[in-house]
Structure 1
């Protein structure tokens, strides 16, 4: 007993403590701000990326590392991405949410430009668990790690799990410079939003003034930021200042985030789709390297047609997109050493392209070659010791078998009784140019210079008040002096003391291009530019290099040819763009040198007269019924612009028939009299003009007879097969248009065809029209029939005097059959009844004195689309039983008591209601015709206030507005919530249909790869249907557009709503109101 008391006491005590902790815990116990949870302390991890669109990235990278990674295998990869930011709102970057798919693979992009590809398999090991987004490169194709998921929109991968190791496969693309400068910005409108700031717009335009391509615009912005702003990570703008404008116009000092953010915004203001990327910048070497928060970095990615996203980084201005066989880095700062002492220098040999057989040599005057490096990596080399005072430049030179080389100089000084420091530390000397070298010698009196270098033309010295002697040496290269690297020995003397200077000199020579370019060319034409490249001074021809040719189309320079030059000669095939307009153009031919080559690039400009390309837009085969055949075509320029008022000659089987003239839209028509089934070759010829080239086209015209049954029957739910023949043609492709919806392709083989139409789900008459292009060759009708089933719904019928027998009639698809008569016989009592809209027929029959099991026979005689049917049933007919009202009342009372008891015991929990504010238009379409009232409803808690174009329009839930033609802003306010929408008032729905079709649908169709110029609306719809786009909205869109464009009957609101919804289904809401 006592034990039970103790147990009860302890139980009550624990329950009391539990209740007190729940109620008072939040008030009594409060953790200091920033306190970490036990999980965070024991298992810290990186914050997940791209999980929310509410916050932007931190402004600066913290100095203290918050993650430690071991990265292996990044032989060609500098940038590991973690987050992508898309929207710049109120001074900070946010990310539009994107869907992660359960796949660890993303297909690489389709690159349609000549390129170089390098593949890496990279392993990442983290000392702390990672979750959310993973560090991967731009074009990662596969991630092997626990729970890896892909985010294709941002080329990212993530995991919901905690991982400490994973690996990924990546591909990187680089391009020769001529292909890059030929790129144009891609169509990614969601990456073009930018602040509406006139100062930013003016700056963006001024930076890219004179840029001759979209790629040059991006490079110009990178170089402007790199050359005019200072990089400091720990930067904080004044409170309340906009960080971007403060960085660009005031401080001009910022972090990696500031540089990248400015680059993205300035690119967008120049029409370049761009996004901000956060991650780490690492060494591009295969060996394992340690990566911490100190590697954190921001950069930009810009989207271009045919290449996809490319990296741009003002803080690493070496263009990451240009193909280089290697990267070489060595410290360029002065390294002072004492006599007989040594030092260490770090050499980075990175991003070495596969198959180039690249290597690095390290040479030091008096010491000779101290290293030969054949593999990429980071190397620490010992330099010295040097016995005598002097200036000893460390020459680090990377090269490959293609003649590319890159040299870095590390200046090393060993002081003595007399010392001298050369400026510049490395002399780049152009032939026929003089360079003045300045030597700063501490002390005065008796300073001299001794040298046998043929480059030294003269020298003199000046003593300064700072107790220094300045020696000025004039360097000039003789014409016969070899181009390339040389070490020139100079000795500074003062009394018996000497200081030897081993000066690196790179002698380069200018070049000249001599070429022959045709004076008159035709758009779309090809020819070869033959020429030579020579040294301007010596006349010697450089052994290596390449040649590129561009033509200016009025807006940008377009690459028309790119080839190698060998021993100073070249034969450059070029092709003039087909879209080039007629007129005087400039052709630029450039000689491009290999990396580190001792010749300078050069260019030459040639003027050419371009004759525009003329071409016919017509089908190659025209099928028509015998009689007068009207042939319609267009004469267009290479850019697809109409050529108006042009004379067109036409011939039939080589026999001239006449001439016609193009209209202002470039179209022309001609009539052929072909009364029988026959086949001819129609030739149309444009003789050309001073500005457009001649053009001719042969078209086969055949008159045919389509033979199909006039009427075909089919059954609901079953495919319909149509067999036919086409007299006059052996092989062709027709279109069968089934009203009101779908088009089928019909292949005519040996004059016959078979067509199978998908099952119809309703009965009725369907018209099938056979077309070739826009011409109708014949029609047939399909009558869709259905068997019916008669069901008895009342196996027992009761009543006082009469009882109701109910029957239902359905077709084979279980659809109700309405409006048909049934012949019903009940034990000799016959009557005729009709089914209602639900397919149900009701028959009232007399009730006998005693319960009877009657035989009921129901017969349906059939109709136009329903087959005859009958049924025999047995029905029990009896008098209606009385209702037990007493028992029903008792049951209702008991039920009410039970319900009341449950409602009292179970009180509903109070739930927070999310506030909602919506503007709902009549039919959901915010477009109305002039004179129509705009009906809309506001969904909100409470009364809403409505404003139209900023002016109050009333309070309430439902509104009816009369608005003028144009676009209007509708704003609803409900408490703290504000919702806006745009409504458009048009003069006629026809105008809106034509506008949306041409402004929204046609550009979308072009984006699918269709050449819509010269195609009819029906041809466009048919082509898109063949490309597996949904046929229903395409058919509706085309039908309503043709009515708006060509019919005299105005489009109704119902038709416009069908058009609008079909357009939304196809192109989305980005273009339309």
Structure 2
């Protein structure tokens, strides 16, 4: 006994510790910051959230201004992203929260247009630990860091732990200009919201009114901002003003955030999805670079179909345009003493394929120097200059890409001190071949004589004094497109020199031969031609791309690279062109850095629209008259009206049929032979549309199908059949009224499997092809019955009851069926009630008796026969043994007195209950019906209707007039109320609930209920994967209630109401 006490004490101690730890643990024990829950490790996705807030936790930057990153390997990355903003609200940018993927790898979308891709692996070291969003590029594919999570919607990665070093892999995409200008804005409505300000709308439209494509709209917005607004790091703005409108319409000065914000909103108002991005602008070089707060930057990203998100920065070069590299020279001007070294820092960024770059340095009157440089920054030293003067030095960088040399130039002005100062304005020139050029020469000390240096006689220079110390230098551009030098010196023994770089460029000429004057939409056209310089020399570098003017857009048709031979331009006219005359433009675009100017030429072609038949490929029908319907439409989607169509059947000419005003036609042929027949349709075309021809297979069939198919409740239904006359094709099966199945036919047979039915009865299934009814069968849904015994032991004084329950295959009760009970050679019948329970009253023998009971169900139309055997113990109810109860009570008192029972169990008081129960079910009734009400209460309740007493008791039968009535029960100080509604007919109730509850719900799901019939609404919702059975029940009873003269029964209304609640939930009360 003592041992049991110790065990009990020990268990109580454990339970106390468990309760205390559960209640006080969260208060007393603090988890470290950023500790993840177990769910975060086990679940791959976090739930999607729809609130609006800042993007994740941004990287926290120390306020001391010393925040720094070391970035290595960013050969083709100029923008490191940290935050993305989507909504501009009340002057602030916010971001909708999004799903988080517990992964460090994301597959970026691949552009569907030709592009150039570069891949980099970038390392980041932070001087202070980072957490939250990590700095990565737009299309980052993988991040190597602890606890990384991805935000795919925003192309961001974050971590909940502190990291000081990480790396990521990234891909960068660039495009040729003609592909960029063929892009269309994407359809992302979440990125199109903008302030409701008419000034913004007017400005956005004015900026882009001359644009011919969506990309040009973005370029025009960026150009407008660069041209009319000033960049400041710390502009002033009055408190309470909207930053966007203040920047655009008042100050016209702002930070990168102001420029990028304006760009995003103006792009959105032009229909281009856009978002604001925050991060760092860095140099696209492979070496290590230090990034600090001064590099923090804002820019925009715009979304285009087939290209994805593209970066736009109104304060920098277009980062989407393909460049073989970017050349940056520092310094671009030098002041030296005679003999001083010329040291320059050459930075090569975004170098294609990380190639080495050849740099040629041309110093006047000295041999060219050649350097082979790696991407990044290199220092070079040029030859010294001994004589005083101003020297224009030409730097020419070159790289090979796909067999072509691509170039970029830079000019450095070196001033050597001593002697007379000479200055040219401009310091260097770019001029067309053979044209006249002018340079203004300024001298110090009012020099009256200058001498031309004999460098390039093709210039034919002339030096004309203008006033004291100023001269005009006139010359003709040389014939060779390249860099040249003009040289001048002062007279005397210690002359000063002036060297002026001149770049000669040439106009290319595009010449085309023998193009067609007429064509049809969809035709492929080849045109010969040449691209030559102004002297007729055929060029071997550059690209010709072809566009078609279509409305206010320019459509890219094709492109060809020049080879120095006869040009063959191939392109295909779009199939959707309407009849008309179209301008087709051929654009010449020189190779990068080539000394030629882009040119274009255009031709006109009269285009016939493409005529097309819109008819079924196959028509399946029973023998007899077969109708074939179709449309004759142009490739532009417009109907071809009043056209004559010839048709033949099995190569026998049958006649003609004309199209209507909307291009429709219908023809009928008589076919009596089973099998396949060929119907040929021919439209000869006219002045606007091309000819068209199409063949339609007509299969005359006979279906082999059972008249009835029996299926068990809750199990799939399988229907097999054959089709004589159709070897291969597809028909449809329709379960009245709206469920549709596609049924493939192979080798003249088919198998259709239907989902399990959840109710008994018969359903018709029609087999169609198009509008042609082929056959009909009936599915009979039956259910086996399971009979259960509810009373294994039954006792009573004179009689007692034995209860049975009948259940169907879904374990739902089976009401209103007769069960046959055989017991002790006596056979009786009992009926199940609404709960599927049948009650049999039997006499009670004097002695306890175990009887055998056999229960039969003989079957019905939709329930299968069943039989069960049970054993029931029937006993006589005994009298209460008062003597023994008294003795037991006395013993209990003695035990309590002497402490054998040390603690009295607390008395559990049962809370009083008062309920109003409508025995008929839903509290809506037809006028004249009896309402059966039961009141559940321990004491005797009193019932009131509309405040008037009805009587006392627990069961009531009422008849109430039309309208709503308040049913009130009072019992033992408790009051319970319910509402009963009396209607003229259940038809009215069905229509009212359909209009009040179902149609608004359907509209919320996105269905245009105002334009559709009930059956069409059902079909649309079924296609949206809503359960078809309640939709079917609801629609069927609604149509009966509204469109027929038959009365809807109470049982039908209850089925309707339950179907309604299944679909929309409990928001609609009777």
TM norm structure 2: 0.77
1:695 and 1:180 mapped to 2: Cα distance? 35
Cα displacement (A) at 1:750? 2.1
Further displaced range: 454-463 or 174-183 = 454-463
Matched, 1:373 2:372: yes
Cα displacement (A) at 1:263? 0.5
1:448 and 1:543 mapped to 2: Cα distance? 42
2:362 and 2:639 mapped to 1: Cα distance? 66
Contact residue 85 and residue 275 of structure 1 kept, 8 A: yes
Aligned to 1:529, which of 509, 527, 537?
527
Contact residue 74 and residue 121 of structure 1 kept, 8 A: yes
Secondary structure of 2:264's counterpart equals helix
TM norm structure 1: 0.77
Q: How does 1:823-838 map to 2 (within 5 A)?
A: 823-838=820-835
Contact residue 1007 and residue 1017 of structure 2 kept, 8 A: no
Matched, 1:734 2:731: yes
Further displaced range: 298-307 or 822-831 = 822-831
Q: CA 1:456/1:648 → structure 2, altered by over 3 Å: closer, same or farther?
A: same
The structure with the larger Rg is 2
Secondary structure of 1:329's counterpart equals strand
1:431 and 1:53 mapped to 2: Cα distance? 60
Residue 243 of structure 1 corresponds to which residue in structure 2?
243
Q: How does 1:285-300 map to 2 (within 5 A)?
A: 285-300=285-300
Contact residue 718 and residue 759 of structure 1 kept, 8 A: yes
Residue 770 of structure 1 corresponds to which residue in structure 2?
767
Contact residue 1036 and residue 1058 of structure 1 kept, 8 A: no
Q: How does 1:285-324 map to 2 (within 5 A)?
A: 285-316=285-316, 318-324=317-323
2:525 and 2:480 mapped to 1: Cα distance? 37
Further displaced range: 509-518 or 274-283 = 509-518
Cα displacement (A) at 1:261? 0.4
1:672 and 1:995 mapped to 2: Cα distance? 42
Matched, 1:397 2:401: no
Give a deviation string over 1:862-881, Cα, whole Å, max 9, x none: 12222211111122233556
Secondary structure of 2:596's counterpart equals coil
1:865 and 1:1038 mapped to 2: Cα distance? 19
Give a deviation string over 1:73-97, Cα, whole Å, max 9, x none: 2221111211111111111111011
Q: CA 1:834/1:183 → structure 2, altered by over 3 Å: closer, same or farther?
A: same
Residue 462 of structure 1 corresponds to which residue in structure 2?
466
Q: CA 1:1039/1:804 → structure 2, altered by over 3 Å: closer, same or farther?
A: closer
Further displaced range: 712-721 or 344-353 = 712-721
Cα displacement (A) at 1:405? 0.9
Give a deviation string over 1:695-749, Cα, whole Å, max 9, x none: 1111111111111111122333444333221111222223334456654443322
Matched, 1:440 2:442: yes
Residue 571 of structure 1 corresponds to which residue in structure 2?
568
Cα displacement (A) at 1:134? 1.5
Secondary structure of 2:111's counterpart equals coil
Secondary structure of 2:353's counterpart equals coil
1:565 and 1:666 mapped to 2: Cα distance? 46
Residue 665 of structure 2 corresponds to which residue in structure 1?
668
Contact residue 63 and residue 293 of structure 1 kept, 8 A: no
Contact residue 106 and residue 152 of structure 1 kept, 8 A: yes
Q: How does 1:849-864 map to 2 (within 5 A)?
A: 849-864=846-861
1:208 and 1:233 mapped to 2: Cα distance? 28
1:545 and 1:822 mapped to 2: Cα distance? 94
Cα displacement (A) at 1:607? 2.2
Aligned to 2:674, which of 669, 673, 677?
677
Secondary structure of 1:330's counterpart equals strand
1:498 and 1:1036 mapped to 2: Cα distance? 100
Give a deviation string over 1:651-679, Cα, whole Å, max 9, x none: 21232222222233322111111123142
2:377 and 2:569 mapped to 1: Cα distance? 41
Give a deviation string over 1:345-375, Cα, whole Å, max 9, x none: 3222111222876533344335645552342
Contact residue 104 and residue 148 of structure 1 kept, 8 A: yes
Q: CA 1:297/1:862 → structure 2, altered by over 3 Å: closer, same or farther?
A: same
Cα displacement (A) at 1:305? 0.9
Contact residue 993 and residue 1059 of structure 1 kept, 8 A: no
Cα displacement (A) at 1:110? 3.8
2:116 and 2:520 mapped to 1: Cα distance? 32
Give a deviation string over 1:370-422, Cα, whole Å, max 9, x none: 55234211223345542221223343322233132111112221122111122
Cα displacement (A) at 1:630? 0.9
Further displaced range: 424-433 or 754-763 = 754-763
Give a deviation string over 1:935-956, Cα, whole Å, max 9, x none: 9xxxxxxxxxxxxxxxxxxxxx
1:1060 and 1:414 mapped to 2: Cα distance? 93
2:225 and 2:726 mapped to 1: Cα distance? 67
Q: CA 1:550/1:245 → structure 2, altered by over 3 Å: closer, same or farther?
A: same
2:188 and 2:226 mapped to 1: Cα distance? 26
Contact residue 285 and residue 376 of structure 2 kept, 8 A: yes
Residue 99 of structure 2 corresponds to which residue in structure 1?
99
1:530 and 1:757 mapped to 2: Cα distance? 62
1:580 and 1:842 mapped to 2: Cα distance? 79
Contact residue 993 and residue 1056 of structure 1 kept, 8 A: no
1:636 and 1:1035 mapped to 2: Cα distance? 40
Cα displacement (A) at 1:275? 0.6
Residue 252 of structure 2 corresponds to which residue in structure 1?
252
1:1034 and 1:812 mapped to 2: Cα distance? 18
2:1030 and 2:571 mapped to 1: Cα distance? 44
Cα displacement (A) at 1:822? 0.7
Give a deviation string over 1:290-349, Cα, whole Å, max 9, x none: 222222111111111111111111111x22112222222224742222222235432221
2:104 and 2:821 mapped to 1: Cα distance? 67
Residue 482 of structure 2 corresponds to which residue in structure 1?
484
Contact residue 175 and residue 322 of structure 1 kept, 8 A: yes
Contact residue 437 and residue 477 of structure 2 kept, 8 A: no
Residue 173 of structure 2 corresponds to which residue in structure 1?
173
Residue 81 of structure 2 corresponds to which residue in structure 1?
81
Secondary structure of 2:112's counterpart equals coil
Question: What stretches of structure 2 of length at least 5 have no aligned partner?
Answer: 1-31, 35-48, 897-902, 911-963, 965-978, 980-994, 1066-1070
Contact residue 446 and residue 494 of structure 1 kept, 8 A: no
Q: CA 1:756/1:985 → structure 2, altered by over 3 Å: closer, same or farther?
A: closer
Contact residue 717 and residue 755 of structure 2 kept, 8 A: yes
2:599 and 2:668 mapped to 1: Cα distance? 58
Residue 964 of structure 1 corresponds to which residue in structure 2?
none
2:315 and 2:558 mapped to 1: Cα distance? 33
Give a deviation string over 1:747-784, Cα, whole Å, max 9, x none: 32222233343444443323333333443322222223
Contact residue 1021 and residue 1034 of structure 1 kept, 8 A: no
Give a deviation string over 1:572-600, Cα, whole Å, max 9, x none: 11111111222222211111111111111
Cα displacement (A) at 1:1019? 16
1:95 and 1:457 mapped to 2: Cα distance? 63
Aligned to 2:432, which of 427, 430, 433?
430
Contact residue 648 and residue 659 of structure 1 kept, 8 A: yes
Residue 273 of structure 2 corresponds to which residue in structure 1?
273
Q: CA 1:415/1:461 → structure 2, altered by over 3 Å: closer, same or farther?
A: farther
Contact residue 61 and residue 233 of structure 1 kept, 8 A: no
Q: CA 1:523/1:63 → structure 2, altered by over 3 Å: closer, same or farther?
A: farther
Give a deviation string over 1:1002-1035, Cα, whole Å, max 9, x none: xxxxxxxxxxxxxx9999989x97xxx7485799
Contact residue 520 and residue 610 of structure 2 kept, 8 A: yes
Residue 230 of structure 1 corresponds to which residue in structure 2?
230
Q: CA 1:66/1:568 → structure 2, altered by over 3 Å: closer, same or farther?
A: farther
Secondary structure of 2:294's counterpart equals helix
Cα displacement (A) at 1:492? 2.9
Residue 346 of structure 1 corresponds to which residue in structure 2?
345
Cα displacement (A) at 1:445? 3.6
Contact residue 1033 and residue 1062 of structure 1 kept, 8 A: no
Contact residue 774 and residue 1018 of structure 1 kept, 8 A: no
